[in-house]
Amino acid sequence: MLAGALTLAGAIAAQAAESGIRPGVLPDRWLLGGPNCVELPEFQIHEYNPDLYILRQSGCSNDEKPFLYLLFGQNKALLLDTGAGKTSVARTVKTVIDHWLERNKKASIPLVVGHLHGHDDHTGGDPQFASAPDTTLIAPKADAVKAFFGFKVWPKEIVQYDLGGRVLDIIPIPGHDDNSIAIYDRQTGLLLTGDTLYPGRIYVNDTLAEFAASIERLVDFTKDKPVTHILGTHVENSRTPYKEYAIHTVYQPDEHVLELGRAHLLELQDAVKRMNGTLKPVSLRDFSVCGKYPTCER
């Protein structure tokens, strides 16, 4: 099945090139949490393209090492997640926004702060944005997410959110968390999946039925769309197939690349189907699936 999925992924990549998808660049390796923490910044700022930035929190700052995403439209910017623990995330984000404003010859731009899900390793910096000027903070709760984006039929409904010349599809994907969402950026073809799919341990904290339905929703949504990359919010696997770093590892010198593809989504779909309704831990080449965080209990 994976070979067929890879062929399909190649066809979709060609479709992306023909459909005006805006390209971007990902690093081959990210700055790591060590071995010398003194020399590392709290966040690595990576410019995917001039209107999309990826922030990676250092393992020296917090061993979860999450990824944050900052997207700019013509009318507003969207920050997805605020990191783990106490950091200077607001100051870091302001640095990026100021750079973008200068480049685009603008005086200001409203900022919306949301979350791909609500666990505390992705909401640590929320208080820094709660009273910030020209900033809207969406509480990391299902009701707040539904209200802000205008969901009427959660989780079956997919809604759109426009940053101004940049339409995002907001896809409910409960299973890892009850307020988990994925975001498809039509401009770049990126699918942001939070902790629902990434190169690491995928924890099913809600019911398997909810998780399975969410994966089916993602597969169905992407079947006729170009997906340049699937980007999650952690890396826990090594570049060595099937090898994971232990939980709370600070320094991962041979970690997997961040990006996955639609083939991995189909692989996850197949693995969940094979469970036949009963959650069973499974280790795949680039990620694994298990039960509740942190023990993987079912």
Contact (Cβ atoms closer than 8 angstroms) between residue 114 and residue 183: no
Does domain 2-290 fall under CATH 3.40.50.1100? My reply is: no
Looking at residue 222, its pLDDT comes to: 99
What confidence tens digit (pLDDT) does each residue in 32-87 have?
777 788 878 999 999 999 999 999 999 999 999 999 999 999 999 999 999 999 99
pTM score > 0.75 for this model?
yes
Band (pLDDT 50/70/90 cuts) for residue 17 is low
Res. 6: pLDDT tops 80? no
Looking at residue 84, its pLDDT comes to: 98
Res. 188: pLDDT tops 90? yes
Give CA–CA dist 86/82, Å, rounded.
10
What confidence tens digit (pLDDT) does each residue in 80-127 have?
999 999 999 999 999 999 999 999 999 999 999 999 999 999 999 999
What confidence tens digit (pLDDT) does each residue in 239-297 have?
999 999 999 999 999 999 999 999 999 999 999 999 999 999 999 999 999 999 999 98
